[in-house]
Structure 1
């Protein structure tokens, strides 16, 4: 694909009438002031000007071109930019209450925050939280599609500020297919269909986040710990305690929950539930006068024979021997 700021393969907005289309010579002494003034004039509140600065060069010109389209409170932008740097996010800053996902088609975006650098090159996407500021650099001839969603609609783990993924990964490919189809059909959709498309896009985006975030070595142990705490609180009260209910309580997918328990040598989700019920039952064998059958029923085993078999396998002795 050409790296020039022409027509995008994505049908976003009106390519013949972009919201922002500016060219400023790099050698212009007032290049940043000219850029900001013209951007404010063209983009207004629809595409607010970010705090950006142009490099000084003796020749050539900087060009930025943006087309935009809305899906209710979600938005898509087709972005072209030459080399530039700036900041985004932060309290009261640019897009602070949004999660912005850059789907890079050509060139590269580089984001830096807290000493960490995240690069979104061609073929990747990068979703970032903006409540704290990011410094960014855009390589010359960079083309990207940007999806913006309200931060209140997406659960980001507290210790994760950016998530990257290959555009070819199944979850990312499904999201991008949904977005491309919507841009092609949006002109003919009624209000109800637009609302349905918006909700479907959010669900696919959340699925992408769940798939990618769990691969973070810091996140999986925290999720596993939260699941264990929830399991402990429901061992006695919930005879139907299962992965679907546990995942729903933690606002993650069942697949994400399985992957969190799959990292390490510990038991599976239901293996952990059974292990904890056996341990609690073992303590009651020594501290109560309940019969083996009563304890088996109390801790939600199908019957006493299933309980005895599982107990013997776990502790290498029978419940009667423990008592």
Structure 2
């Protein structure tokens, strides 16, 4: 391959992914918030995802925490707004795209011309829409994720339709776990990583619509592992936490869940145990730490002896020795 071809390939790959984040809710960032957001979008996301025209009130007081990621023909935009967001005029965009609005807090509104085709998406819901973008807006304290996808990935029967459903499905939890992972890694991904992350995102988005997760698809395993870890972290202190419970919550078999964790080099039970031990270790570093018996009971170890053995195997010290060493270092 000659140098010109190499440069072309490198430029093509560089344009296949991009991302930026912004917090214009504090300090001097408030006055230039929208300009900073627009510059980041134009340079990192590009013309394939043109921004709409926003109202003057929005551009003049753009107080948001946001992060944006692009993988080829997919864009993921997270907005946590402390100010009003409103479009002014027909948004730019392409009719061959699908947009998914996932609202975690507040209310997101979309509307057509002269008040026709109004849609309201409340916290805990998502709206999936095929076609040219509508006017949209949100009051302050609204948190939304907008995923822009190619319409070719979906059933043609979705054309020019809106679907509004609960965002609490297992398939949606998997998708959100994956979009979080994309946000965290997008700027570091190489060509193979971009390809895998992009393919998994499209498959998970389709799973949200169809209600079926293809558990035989290896590219989806990282999203499954991340979603399971997030679910486990929320339930660490609960005695019912188990691989079976997590599998039911994510609508997969225990075997599928175990296989996904194995591909990541760990086990489900091992992850739960290590996270519980880490939480116990943090508690032991407090000024007045709980007793070993209290920690063992709270973090669901069968007894103090079992907890002490597991802690020493993990950290090379007993809980008492660790607490003593922390106090000694602190003094």
TM-score w.r.t. the length of structure 2 is 0.46
Higher helix share: 2
Task: State the TM-score, normalized to the length of structure 1.
Answer: 0.46
